Amino acid sequence: MARILTGIQSTNVPHLGNMLGAILPGIELANTPGNEAFFFIADFHSLTTVHDPEVLRENTYATAAAWLACGFDTEKGFFYRQSDIPEVTELTWFLTCFFPFSRLELAHSFKDKADNLSQVSSGLFFYPMLMAADILMYDANVVPVGKDQRQHIEFTRDVAERINNRFGAETFVIPEARTEESVQVVPGIFKDAEGNFAKMSKSYGNTIVVFEDDKKLRKRIMSIQTDTTPMEEVKNPDTCLVYTLYSLIATAEQTAELREAYLKPGMGYGWAKEQLYKAILERFGEARERYNFYMGNKKELDLKLQEGAEKAGTVAYEVLSRVRSKLGYKKLAYFGGEI
Ligand code: TYM
């Protein structure tokens, strides 16, 4: 049996990159017989950038609703808010004491984000250790993530191995990252200053959020950057963001048809964008309905998250007790740890 675990930050409503890179591959793994899934909302991670309680709460609901909208079966799996499991912050502290500062300074995501922020908190710097704790807390085997998070899984393996070498191989389970080739970096809706496909990311403001209402979604898709090839000339699908995004959403047959249209004179980008819009509605139509249902029934979300916290908390308590005793601490007293 493999334990699958992944989390999504609640800094925004999950975008297409989050969905194709992590949520959908995660749910597919969760549905594979013999696997057990831990999917959570990384709302402590969001505090590195979101300091408005109302925004934080609302985005936490939106992220939870996205998991359910995409079909995660919470009866079979573990579904929880990171902040409902206090053990994770204690484990973070343990991990920071074994991981070299100089390694954390090499984190790509820190460097990327730090470039865009006028004030960088130490929380942002230590964020990979909180992520390592999220994973090691539940003895996870497989972590489905997009490419941007792979270095963090390397850090997780590194810190776990350092501790295992010192205290015994049974202290932590060593996880592995799982990234699907085709969606490892979903591009955003415009190119960067150097003309390259920039990663879809809230920080770059280049996202498509499939849960937005029809009008906003359509407007967003119509704003995708294309080149200036005139209508009467053939177009290059392989350098076009509209085509790339379409190929990630539509079937292979539909993608081949769109490719043909690009290679014939007379196709306008407006028409191609319309096809992308329709493909999104077709692929995510049911998910969009379910998302709206949950966002209108937050009590139901709260109930599911509460049940999930109780289930996940039992595992966290056991793992933390094991780690505590390895390191020389006694079991957590509030659950009847021995004197
Ligand atoms: P976050 O919230 O930035 O992104 C959530 C997941 O979405 C993937 N992703 C993408 N995949 C492909 N193309 C893109 N453009 C794209 N943008 C985002 C990310 O790789 C990620 O898998 N620190 C994490 C959340 C986290 C976590 C964890 C993940 C906290 N604890 C433990 C796994 C395990 C983060 O900020 O992801």
Say whether 199 is catalytic: yes
pLDDT digits over 186-240, tens only? 999 998 888 888 999 998 899 999 999 999 999 999 999 999 999 999 999 999 9
Over 90: is that where the pLDDT of 336 sits? no
Active-site annotation holder among 111, 191, 199, 330: 199
How many whole angstroms separate alpha carbon 3 and alpha carbon 175? 9
Segment 146-160, tens digit of pLDDT: 999 999 999 999 999
Q: If 0-12 CB within 10 Å is exposed, 13-18 middle and 19+ buried, where does residue 261 land?
A: middle
In sequence order, what are the beta bridge partners of 81? Answer: 41
* Annotated catalytic residue within 76, 202, 326, 331: 202
Per-residue pLDDT of 49-101, as tens digits, reads 899 999 999 999 999 999 999 999 999 999 999 999 999 999 999 999 999 99
pLDDT at 256 over 90: yes
CB 248 within 8 A of CB 182: yes
Please report, rounded to a whole number, the percentage of residues in the chain having pLDDT higher than 70. Answer: 97
316 CA to middle of ligand 1, Å?
22
Any ligand 1 atom below 6 A from CB of 186: yes
Q: What's the mean pLDDT in 236-265?
A: 97
Among 102, 115, 111, 104, residue whose Cα is nearest residue 154: 104
Q: What share of the chain is helix, strand, coil (3-state, %, to 5)?
A: 60, 10, 30
Dist. CA 324–CA 321, nearest whole Å: 5
Is 7 close to ligand 1, i.e. is its CB under 6 Å away? yes
For residue 43, the CA-to-ligand 1 centroid distance in Å is 13
149 lines ligand 1 (CB under 6 A): yes
- Report the half-sphere exposure of 15 (CA within 13 A, side-chain side): 23
**Known catalytic membership, residue 202:** yes
Q: Which residue has the higher pLDDT, 118 or 109?
A: 109
pTM score of the predicted model: 0.95
175 lines ligand 1 (CB under 6 A): no
Q: Whose CA is nearest to atom 22 of ligand 1?
A: 145
Q: Residue 334 above 80 pLDDT?
A: no
3-class secondary-structure state, position 4: strand
Average pLDDT across the chain, whole number: 95
In angstroms, rounded to a whole number, what is the distance separating the alpha carbons of residues 114 and 107? 11
- Amino acid letter, residue 1: M
Q: Report the percentage of the chain scoring pLDDT > 90.
A: 88
- Active-site residue, 311 included: no
Element (H, E) at 9: strand 2-9
CA-closest residue to ligand 1 atom 9: 18
| Ligand 1 pocket, residue 14 CB under 6 Å | no
| Amino acid at the residue 330 | K
Say if ligand 1 is within 6 A of residue 50 CB: no
Atom of ligand 1 nearest to the CA of 42: 30
Give the chain's length.
Answer: 339
Q: What are the tens digits of pLDDT across the range 6-29?
A: 999 999 999 999 999 999 999 999
Name the residue at shortest CA distance from atom 19 of ligand 1: 146
Separation of CA 104 and ligand 1 centre (Å): 18
